[in-house]
Structure 1
């Protein structure tokens, strides 16, 4: 049942002959889990909330940073330093108070994914890394739920609908039918490393929201079995046909995967020759105050280093494998990046290739240090 206020709000939906009250009721009763509240998640969440999706789950472990705001239009400067999921919930409920929002300020992992996703009807993948993309895909297949997928890179965007069962009972392909195996670790940078045109997530995230609405309501033909690409520079788009692969390890003719796996290892990210050692922002400050002899290695890109840095030696992650001789062995070495992710990878590379045992990752990266220490530096 809809209140008078809801009927007024959704009037432009209800009066469409091919949509009507029946489709709006399906939206109200739907439960959608959005994995990632960043560039894609921002327009996706705004339009799902505005459309009247009755229950939306949001999972994201990050905080709002200043560098997010050129593309993550869900947030404003007043949310800097706050959890993305909480800022998103506040904004969405101000847009539509007739829906329910559930938030998870944690990483989506193989340990919690099945439990979190179990009670949702549709999963929408707004992530920017391969381990989570394969995790979202496998969860959707194992739980028999459609996965509305989107991705962005610099000037290009992709959209598709995976694991969708049509009215005839025919199941469409999933992500592993398109990409059975991930690229070599580090071969494809994410948006933090390669950049993205700010308006692109708005375009692609809106298309992703459209596909979620189509999947829920049954109105139109979802992008199942098709893969849409958009080039913002040429304004050209193409739609490729996809087919199920009989060799798919999840649901092919001889499936070999029936549970979630270690996706970091599958994507070649965890190859540590020694355990990872980390220090907090507070411990890092203590080391500086106590005069502990240490070296700081910054593995960000040169343009990031120019924007803000705390000194140290700049060795971008892409170059770290060839510059082990530039890293000290006779003192503590702290590796830093923006959020503490690239620096972990740098440590893994150095430990595996050169056998270092004196490396420390700055947990939470430069952003966390600036916020925790209240440094007079921008959170770019």
Structure 2
């Protein structure tokens, strides 16, 4: 198959041409997350002819994903997102190389993965992972193409581009209590639009055309089609060293545990179940030895907890409970574990939930 035929409509653009297409074919892009944003980003990078695409995601396809993660078929439910995404974009463009990493991004693998690629794309909805991506990009000197969604609004920016501002310059507070898509809700159109904006930034960086969103954040609201761009400056945040990165991310990791595996501890006095959701969140759950302290209040109310107890932390879906577990570990709580999947998973197993 003639590549010129495949890419003809973009090669005839004077800003791209044969030289630009060559740049695309030699480029290597790593996409972290094959969910809603990734499902929009990946097809456009592949169809444009980006020579090598990596996909990092340890999740499997669920039926609730399909309304926004449109690269997956119903028959893919239960299968690896990374592998299914690789299959889809390889069929879309068999001329490119695609690598699937069905693993969670962590301090142990981030730097070694990032070193193999030119551009890193953040297609996640986990705040702690965004800081990890940012810091690994600083260590490896890679640009980070950022996207995020909150209900009907999305944001796009490019961090660490040609020594420009980083994610921490815009969001210095690492203990943010932001909700993810499962907690806040999302419509598929939002992730589609923001993902395409991200793909656009990737192509501009590779081709050296247009104005890259470095030091600027684009905010787009789909309900009224309003779009604003805000400038932000590089802060005094110093470049992170590899040693600092290793110390920060490869310390004791948050231990995650399934609710099913601790069902027999519900009635034990030595165990405490800590709900870090806000008080108005549903469904309600009633367990013996349970306490509710919203994540935003946890640091100020930490004295309510006993360091000698085993504490199982849960939230709505398992994101905030990890942040809370890290906070407790920093305050010398030794036996703290985060319940995977949160109440949305727990409700399958306990008949005591009151909606």
Equivalent of 1:178 in 169, 173, 190: 169
Q: Which moved more, 1:220-229 or 1:340-349?
A: 340-349
Identify the residue that residue 152 of structure 1 maps to in structure 2.
149
- C-alpha contact (below 8 Å) 1:150/1:160 kept by paired residues: yes
What is the TM-score of this pair, normalised by structure 1?
Answer: 0.73
Question: 1:163, 1:344 → 2: CA distance?
Answer: 27
Name the SS of the counterpart of 2:202 in structure 1.
helix
Deviation at 1:211, TM superposition (A): 1.0
Question: 2:59, 2:103 → 1: CA distance?
Answer: 8
Deviation at 1:44, TM superposition (A): 0.7
- Residue-by-residue CA offset, 1:306-360 (whole Å, 9 max, x unaligned): 5xx997579585488499999999998755456544334455667888x988865
- C-alpha contact (below 8 Å) 2:295/2:320 kept by paired residues: no
Cα–Cα, structure 1 residues 7 and 311, in superposed 2: closer, same or farther, change >3 Å? farther
Question: 1:260, 1:350 → 2: CA distance?
Answer: 24
Question: 2:52, 2:199 → 1: CA distance?
Answer: 14
- Residue-by-residue CA offset, 1:221-245 (whole Å, 9 max, x unaligned): 3223332221223321122334444
- C-alpha contact (below 8 Å) 2:31/2:123 kept by paired residues: yes
Question: 2:38, 2:346 → 1: CA distance?
Answer: 26
Deviation at 1:301, TM superposition (A): 7.2
Identify the residue that residue 41 of structure 2 maps to in structure 1.
44
Cα–Cα, structure 1 residues 176 and 336, in superposed 2: closer, same or farther, change >3 Å? closer
Name the SS of the counterpart of 1:161 in structure 2.
strand
1:213 and 2:219 matched: no
1:222 and 2:205 matched: no
Gaps of 5+ in 2: 351-355
- C-alpha contact (below 8 Å) 2:277/2:315 kept by paired residues: yes
- C-alpha contact (below 8 Å) 1:138/1:260 kept by paired residues: no
Q: Which moved more, 1:54-63 or 1:17-26?
A: 17-26
- C-alpha contact (below 8 Å) 1:302/1:314 kept by paired residues: no
Question: 1:89, 1:220 → 2: CA distance?
Answer: 29
Identify the residue that residue 130 of structure 1 maps to in structure 2.
127
Question: 1:226, 1:357 → 2: CA distance?
Answer: 41
Q: Which moved more, 1:109-118 or 1:27-36?
A: 109-118
1:192 and 2:189 matched: no
Question: 2:237, 2:335 → 1: CA distance?
Answer: 42
Name the SS of the counterpart of 1:40 in structure 2.
helix
Deviation at 1:281, TM superposition (A): 6.0
Listed as ranges, the matches of 1:24-173 within 5 Å are 24-164=21-161, 171=162, 173=164
- Residue-by-residue CA offset, 1:44-94 (whole Å, 9 max, x unaligned): 112111111111011122222333223222223322222221121112112
Deviation at 1:364, TM superposition (A): 5.5
1:258 and 2:241 matched: yes
Deviation at 1:13, TM superposition (A): 1.3
Cα–Cα, structure 1 residues 188 and 13, in superposed 2: closer, same or farther, change >3 Å? same
Cα–Cα, structure 1 residues 345 and 29, in superposed 2: closer, same or farther, change >3 Å? closer
Identify the residue that residue 283 of structure 1 maps to in structure 2.
261
RMSD: 4.1
What is the TM-score of this pair, normalised by structure 2?
Answer: 0.77
Question: 2:62, 2:278 → 1: CA distance?
Answer: 17
Question: 2:81, 2:259 → 1: CA distance?
Answer: 21
Cα–Cα, structure 1 residues 182 and 75, in superposed 2: closer, same or farther, change >3 Å? farther
Paired residues, number: 346
Q: Which moved more, 1:54-63 or 1:135-144?
A: 135-144
